[in-house]
Each structure stands twice: as structure tokens, then as C-alpha cells.
Amino acid sequence: MSPASFHPAIALTQDPHLLTQSVGAVGRVAPWMNDPAIELADIAIREAASDASGGKPIADIMGVRTIVASSKGAILTLIDDRFKKHRDSAAILGPHQWLAHQLRCRLNLGNTTSVVAACATAACALHQARREIESGEHDRVLVVAVESALHPIFAHSYKRLGVLTPINPLSAHRPRPLDENREGFTLVEIAAAVMLEAEPSARAQGRNIRGQLLGSAVATEPHDIVRPAPVFTALSACINRAVPRGTPIALIQPHATGTKDNDPRELRAIAQAIPDATAAPVYASKGALGHPLGASALVNLALGIAIANTGKRPPMPWLDNPIDCGFAINKAPQPVAPGAQLITSAGFGGHVGAVCFNAVGPRSQSSTA
């Protein structure tokens, strides 16, 4: 499809040809020698590249176009004395481009750029990658998302904003997304990576295919630097653009931060966009993992593929009193049928996004091989 003929609404419904080839995810805390954002992203990329190529050497991604999604970048290089030996270079490039530069040099990547859009960063990166492939600009695009904000500066900043779940006493520090007793989120160190490739190229190269990216859309809905808009009009519009018309949804992973304002408003926006989806299972990953911030959409993509492989949505044990939102929010595990999944993102400053994909489970993959 040429750039001149490209139109998102048409492409998403008539030409869903992108493949999610591989997913690697890492979540850990360790005494890193370098900024943990760089180390975590490096691990996720290597896992994703290995999975995509069926275990071939890392050289398979040499020169590949790469988009780095991170709301903060390698910020600890600038504020943590453990990593101050690179502070001057990081200050010149900025924490986001320093992260992209380090990954490109380490892994011999091609053109590597960063995307920043608060908690919708990974959704924006996936959307940009899809556009670049559908326009014919690239055949393959590696997307890596990473966040490392485990530092007192960020903990106190989020606490002052009123979005962090209480930490005194420590036993109260428990995220409860989609529950009436939710009080905020926790922070996490995490990374995920995925390789997107045009379908003809992926099949010709015999890639390890994990799913198909059906559509994506991003937007901005200015209202307040922190608080979400009373009505997520832009998010509903993104969902309508991202989900091909008439596509049944097998699983919904909302952003579901666990803050008082976000969760019910976000679920209402999803229900308004696709009323038939209210019967689909819903999973709020931040209750189990913490808040991946700008990496959220890519982390949920990895989880969605894992859920498709098992055919079961994990339990949500933090749910004691689910919010009244029109969806059947269930504490216990639920079966998830094969089919399209929806991920939504909603960040500070009104950044929103939606990603729709069809994960390829073991049965589907063996039948199409």
C-alpha cells in the first residue's frame, strides 16, 4: 500500500496484514551495572529476536528499524549516582535518545528513534510501526518498551499527585484496579519487545508468528495534566478506528490504573465504542504486575499472547467489590476464546490509544504452518 493511498480507517478494516512475530518480556529488580532501562530493554529485545527467528543468533536483527517506547527513558543515568559515569553523555542526548543510542550500539540495530506520550507511549510506538510497514517504508520494525522508575523522586512525585496507592502502612500498598476500593497504582521495572513484519515477508522468511495486528489508533484529549477527561471521547474514537468493523472481541485489557477517576470512565468509553464487547472477559494487569507506565500497551500485548496460548484469563484476587461499569468483572479465572483482543491506554495530558490484535494460539499456529 503506497503512502498516497493510505487511510487508517480503510487499512484497519480491509488490509489487516501485519504480524506480531515474537514477544519477549522481562520484569525484575537487580543490581544493574548500567541504567536498568538499558539492561531490561536489551534482554527483552534479545528474547524477542530469538523467538522470532526460531532461536537463530541475534544477528537476525542487525540493521532493523527500531522504535523505543519509554515515558522516562534512561532517566536514572541522570539522577542516580550509581550510573553517573555516563551522565554527561546522557545529559547531551537526553534520557530517551540516550536509551535509544545505547540499544542501537549494543545490538547493531538500524535507525532507532524514541516515542514519548506518557502512559500511551507503547500504543503510539505500535501505531507508528504499523503505519511505517503499511506505507511500505519498512518491511520489519522492532518495538521495545521499557520503564525503570523505581526511585524515591518518582515515588514521591506520584504520591503528591494522588495517584500512588498508599505506602503507610506498607501492607496497604496494594493496587486494586477495577475495584471500588482502588486508591492508586504501584510502580514497576519492566520491559517488553515485539517484532512487526509485513505478512508476505514474515511467511517467506519462515518467522515464528505469534499473532496478527489488526489495527491501532492514537489521539490526544487535553483536559488536565493529570486527571482524565470526564468523558473519554477521543478514546472511544480510537477504539472505533482500531477494531475492524464487526470484529468480536475475545478479551479486553483496559489501561485500568486503579485510580479513582480513570477506571469507570475508561470502561464506559469502551462500552460506548463497542457495546457488544461488554460480554468479553476483562483483565487488569496492573493489579498483578504494577503500573508499567509508558510500556503498558506492549506489556499487555505480551500478556494477551500468553493468555491466548493458555486459553484462560488469570485471576484478579484483589477484586473484593468490582466497579459497576456494564462489564462482568470477574475475580476468578475465565476462559478466553480464540479471536481479537483489545488493549487501551490513557495517560497524563490526555494521551490515549487503542490496539487490536489477534493472537495465534498453539492450535491456530500448527494449523497454519
Asked if the domains 3-204 and 214-368 are classified in one and the same CATH topology, the answer is yes
Q: Could you read off the pLDDT of 310-319 as tens digits, one per residue?
A: 999 999 999 9
Asked if pLDDT for residue 29 goes beyond 90, the answer is: no
pLDDT digits (tens, 9 = 90+) for 259-317: 999 999 999 999 999 999 999 999 999 999 999 999 999 999 999 999 999 999 999 99
Q: What pLDDT was estimated at residue 16?
A: 43
**Mean pLDDT, to the nearest integer, of 103-128?**
97
Mean pLDDT of the chain: 87
CA 342 – CA 320 distance, rounded (Å): 25
Is the predicted pLDDT of residue 20 greater than 80, yes or no? no
Per-residue pLDDT averaged across 45-52, rounded? Answer: 89
Please state the domain extents for the chain: 3-204, 214-368
pLDDT tens for 134-186 read: 999 999 999 999 999 888 899 889 989 989 998 777 777 889 999 999 999 99
Hey, CA dihedral for 63, 68, 72, 76, is it positive or negative? negative
Q: What pLDDT sits at residue 68?
A: 98
* pLDDT for residue 10 is more than 80: no
pLDDT of 366 above 70: no
Q: Which of 99, 102, 22, 114 is nearest to 60 (CA)?
A: 22
Average pLDDT over every residue of 178-197: 94
Topology adopted by domain 214-368: Peroxisomal Thiolase; Chain A, domain 1 (3.40.47)
pLDDT beyond 70 at 23: no
Burial (CB count <10 Å: 0-12, 13-18, 19+), residue 366: exposed
* Chain centroid offset of residue 214 CA: 15
Q: When comparing pLDDT for 38 and 206, which is higher? A: 38
pLDDT of residue 19: 65
Superfamily of domain 3-204: Thiolase/Chalcone synthase (3.40.47.10)
Residue 227 binned pLDDT confidence (cut-offs 50, 70, 90): confident
Region 184-203: what's the mean pLDDT? 90
Q: What pLDDT is stored for residue 115 in this prediction?
A: 96
pLDDT score at 174: 87
For residue 58, name the pLDDT band (cuts at 50, 70, 90). Answer: low
Average pLDDT score over residue span 113-130 = 97
pLDDT at position 252 = 98
**How many beta carbons lie within 10 A of that of residue 212, not counting itself?**
18
Q: What is the pLDDT of residue 258?
A: 95
Question: Given a cut of 50, is residue 232 above it in pLDDT?
Answer: yes
Q: What 3 state SS string does the chain have? A: CCHHHCCHHHHHHHCCCEEEEEEEEECCCCCCCCCHHHHHHHHHHHHHHHHHCCCCCHHHHCCCEEEEECCCCCCHHHHCHHHHHHHHHHHHHCHHHHHHHHHHHHHCCCCEEEECECECHHHHHHHHHHHHHHCCCCCEEEEEEEECCCCHHHHHHHHHHCCECCCCCHHHCCCCCCECCCCCECECCEEEEEEEEEHHHHHHCCCCCCEEEEEEEEEECCCCCCCCCCCCHHHHHHHHHHCCCCCCEEEEECCCCCCCCHHHHHHHHHHHHCHHHHHCCECCCHHHHCECHHHHHHHHHHHHHHHHHHCEECCCCCCCCECCCCCCCCCCCEECCCCEEEEEEECHHHEEEEEEEEECCHHHHHHHC
In the predicted model, is pLDDT for residue 131 greater than 70? yes
The CA distance from 165 to 98, in Å, is 31
ω before 222 within 30° of 0 (cis)?
no
